[in-house]
Amino acid sequence: MKAPTPVVTNALLALVCLIWGSTWLVIKVGLRDVPPFTGAAVRFVVAGVCMAGLVGLFSRREGGGSPPRGVVLAQGLFQFALNYGLVYVAETAIPSGLVAVLWSVFPLFVSLAGHFVLKNEILSPAQWFGMLLAFAGVALLFVTDLRAIDLRAVKLGALLLLAPLSVTVSTLLIKYRAAGASSLVLNRDSMLIGAVVLGGIAAVVERDQAPRWTSLAVGSILYLALAGTVMTFGIYLWLLRFVPAYKMSLTAFVTPLIALIVGSALGGEGLSVFTLMGSACVVGGVALVLVARARRSVLG
């Protein structure tokens, strides 16, 4: 298969960042009519069914064996059920752009796991500085923006930090126990598991919250499922075959910046001086960690 030109590569990476950056506000828009767990469950039912179609079309071309059941279960529980459940609930009280910034500490958890748990990637001084800068930014956002909203926002913000941590667990399991497995099959099965778990939670905690299936609600779910999940996943997976991993990691700190801009411009979410300062620290710290890793991978 012929590799894409640099122009095509950069255009597709920009498209992925734009879509992922917009999904945070689209989630919040959908929450006006559909409770969080219900909305997340329906999103992954739609995405899982679409992914099943992709498996039938492309699984032979992709190759790879069946993923271990334990990894599929962990991916469904951690990546889709816990992660997105926390994100959707957090957005009931916290601005979408701020949720995106708080979630963007995910690469830091992966790097810390590599340093302390796996011991296969020792952090450099520049990376440690990036860690401190990013978590200082998180702390600033908690004592300013979240505290200014209400106590519930502070509590949900703290719970939200479990979301990237849970994805770290599933990511490491996939990397070390399912590296040769079909990613299409893995994501199809884990999305549907996540949908079932989220649907079960919704049936218990949202039984008195009837969703309103307005055109805006349906549109938001379709956008999140088709563009925000299936399409971007397909592009990202295809680009990984040709583009160095360090370049793909640019999405980690570009996406929250786009989410802040989209939330402010289209969602009417305010950007205070503290929002900008805290977000700059978080995104800058994440960038330092990833850039240092990229330089190490290029040199080594």
Mean pLDDT by 10 residues, the chain (300 residues): 83 95 98 98 97 87 86 96 98 98 94 86 92 97 97 98 95 86 90 98 97 98 96 80 72 93 97 97 94 65
* Cα maximum dimension of the chain: 57
Q: What is the reported pTM?
A: 0.94
Position 118 scores a pLDDT of 82
Question: What is the pLDDT, as a whole number, of residue 295?
Answer: 66
C-alpha 93/C-alpha 214 separation (Å) is 22
Within 8 A by CB and 6+ apart from 25, the residues are 96, 97, 259, 262, 263, 266, 267
Q: What is the pLDDT of residue 250?
A: 78
Residue 300: predicted pLDDT:
52
Token pair, residue 23, equals: 């999904």
DSSP 181: B
Torsional sign, CA 279, 16, 43, 173 = negative
Residues 6 or more apart in contact with residue 67 via CB below 8 angstroms: 174, 178, 181, 182, 185, 186, 189
